[in-house]
Amino acid sequence: MLEIYNSLSRYKETFKPLHEGHVGMYVCGPTVYGDAHLGHARPAITFDLLYRYLMHLGYKVRYVRNITDVGHLEHDADEGEDKIAKKARLEQLEPMEVVQFYTNRYHRDMAALNVLPPSIEPHASGHIIEQIAFVQKILDKGYAYVSNGSVYMDVEKYAKDFPYGKLSGRNLNDIVTETRELDGQDEKKHSYDFALWKKAAPEHIMHWPSPWSEGFPGWHMECSTMGTKYLGERFDIHGGGLDLIFPHHEAEIAQSCAALGHETVHYWMHNNMITIAGKKMGKSYNNFITLEQFFSGNHPLLSKPFGPMVIRFFILQAHYRSTVDFSSDALEAAEKGLQRMQEAYARLQKLQPIANSQQPIAELVTSLRARCQEAMDDDLNTPFVIAALFDSTRAINTVWDGKGTISEADLKELREVWKTYAIDILGLRLEADDNANANAKAFSGAIDLLLGIRLQAKQNKDWATSDKIRNELTALGFQIKDTKDGFEWSI
Ligand code: ZN
């Protein structure tokens, strides 16, 4: 039975879907005003893992992951300039050009990480009408007020009827002392009230008509609206990063309870954060590494490029509720671990069965599937799944080295468990790199061969052949340098 930790009850609970055989799952997606970084990779991979495991268990899953393209403001999420609008102003682009550009790049990076696309990927800007209707519902129930064209949640009134702060464990007093004093706060009755709808300032370029003003929705509103639109008024799982618990998810609970009179989400799940040398990632720390920079190695904190599967493996080596501290050394260790798995996987495909399985091979194979499933059922314990697979590499290598035998049935079982857990559930591409390496090796071997022929031709004073090879390779984009030992080439 799958057990997952529910951030709301703070216990591991046995997962039981609201509708037999079906799971509705909503995960807060990116605000698309810049390239995805390691902090985006972790929730994407964590909930991709959950999505894959639920499908493996036979559920039909509707997975909704949104794109935030309006309403996420710079300070405390609902004060200051809109993040997309700011980027558009700085780059002199139409805001939707910014959104499309970074959404495309996000999709490219997620595909590289082997993150499956969600079933539905709604945009906040495509659901303005629904968000206005949701705000109106909260106003009608008396838990919000209009002030100078903006609509705010009346947190004090709400907290009299519902427990506000139960997800984050905060109470109103904590929240009062945490809330920063900012301009425009005089519109609010209390500093902890948050915007459901904001009147657009004259310079604000993204705005829509509403009953209250020409403006735009508050950031938290999109997830309450789109979650219930696509998954119903009660759905199974809502996920996101730990940093979203307050204010974002707390505000979502308040909005949904205020509008509908009840909770919408059954299980709240949060992945922990990634730190870099013990520090939170952020532009102000100058330790912001985008996924593209990881893949190219183009960042001062990186010793070399790291492929997307190394990043995925690095993230899965930790349990999703533990912190992960990034360093180039840690990634190099993950790369070695992944290479061991790739090697074992390649050998596994080539092994030949003989007679019976010897001990301890038989025992390793018999227990492997159960160990992997128990680990996944225990709140997605991926480090244990990886450890079990590593243990089975001992069996693979023993047979490979001719120091043990494996039966046909055990070999079949071993291949199936690796396919199910390493490839389908952990989502590791184990053979892709093998092929890429083989291609790269064959390619550079062929160029070396050609340049070797040219060297021979030069020594024989066959200038026609040597010039032909040099000129045609140059025309194809190669740079060829003659050295005293022979030649060097690059592209
Ligand atoms: Zn959200």
Q: What are phi and psi of 355, to 5 degrees?
A: 40, -125
Report how far ligand 1's centroid is from the alpha carbon of 223 (Å).
Answer: 5
The confidence score (pLDDT) of residue 418 equals: 98
Query: 78 CA distance to ligand 1 centroid (A)?
Result: 13
Residue 177 has pLDDT above 80, yes or no: no
Return phi, psi of residue 151, to 5°: -120, 130
Please name the helix (run of DSSP H) or strand (run of DSSP E) that holds residue 74, with its range, or none. strand 73-75
Question: What distance in angstroms lies between residue 183's CA and the mean position of ligand 1's atoms?
Answer: 25
Over the chain, what is the mean pLDDT? Answer: 92
Would you state the pLDDT for residue 4?
98
Q: How far is the CA of 458 from the centre of ligand 1 (A)?
A: 66
Share of the chain above pLDDT 70, in %: 95
Q: What is the mean pLDDT of residues 326-330?
A: 92
The pLDDT of residue 436:
65
User: What pLDDT is attached to residue 354?
Assistant: 86
* Residue 53's pLDDT band (cuts 50, 70, 90): very high
The whole-number pLDDT of residue 485 equals: 76
CA–CA separation, 19 vs 337, rounded Å? 40
What's the confidence (pLDDT) of residue 490?
79
Per-residue burial over 213-226, b = 16 or more CB atoms within 10 Å of its CB, e = otherwise: bebbbbbbbbbbbb
C-alpha 489 – ligand 1 centre gap (Å): 50
- Distance between Cα 343 and ligand 1 center (Å): 40
In the predicted structure, residue 161 carries a pLDDT above the cut 80: yes
Q: What is the model's pLDDT at position 107? A: 98
- The Å distance, Cα 35 to ligand 1 centre, comes to 18
Question: What pLDDT, on the 0 to 100 scale, is given for residue 462?
Answer: 93
Distance CA 108, CA 65 (A): 16
What separation in Å is there between the alpha carbon of 177 and the centre of ligand 1?
A: 24
pLDDT band at 445 (very low <50, low <70, confident <90, very high): confident
pLDDT at 130 over 60: yes
DSSP 316-355: HTS-TTS-EEE-HHHHHHHHHHHHHHHHHHHHHHH----S
Looking at the chain, how many residues does it have?
491
In this predicted structure, what is the pLDDT of residue 181? 56
Q: Which structural domains are found in the chain, ordered by start?
A: 3-271 (3.40.50.620), 291-425 (1.10.730.10), 435-490 (no CATH)
Confidence category of residue 27, pLDDT binned at 50, 70, 90: very high
The C-alpha atoms of residue 428 and residue 307 are separated, in whole angstroms, by 12
251 CA to middle of ligand 1, Å?
10
Distance 428 CA to ligand 1 centre (A): 27
For 355-386, the pLDDT digits (tens) are 888 888 999 999 999 999 999 999 999 999 99
Spatial CA neighbour of 141 closest among 163, 157, 164: 157
Residue 423 pLDDT > 80: yes
How far does residue 29's CA lie from ligand 1's centre (Å)? Answer: 7
* Selected residue with higher pLDDT from 463 and 71: 463
Dist. CA 200 → ligand 1 center (Å): 22
Tell me what pLDDT residue 132 has. Answer: 98
Average pLDDT (60-83) is 85
The model's pLDDT over 399-417, given as tens digits with 9 standing for 90+, comes to 999 999 999 999 999 999 9
Q: 329: burial class by Cβ within 10 Å (0-12, 13-18, 19+)?
A: exposed
pLDDT band at 345 (very low <50, low <70, confident <90, very high): very high
**Residue 403 has which token pair?**
């120091």
pLDDT of residue 483: 82
When pLDDT is cut at 50, 70 and 90, the band that residue 486 belongs to is: confident
Q: Are 410 and 365 in contact (CB under 8 A)?
A: yes
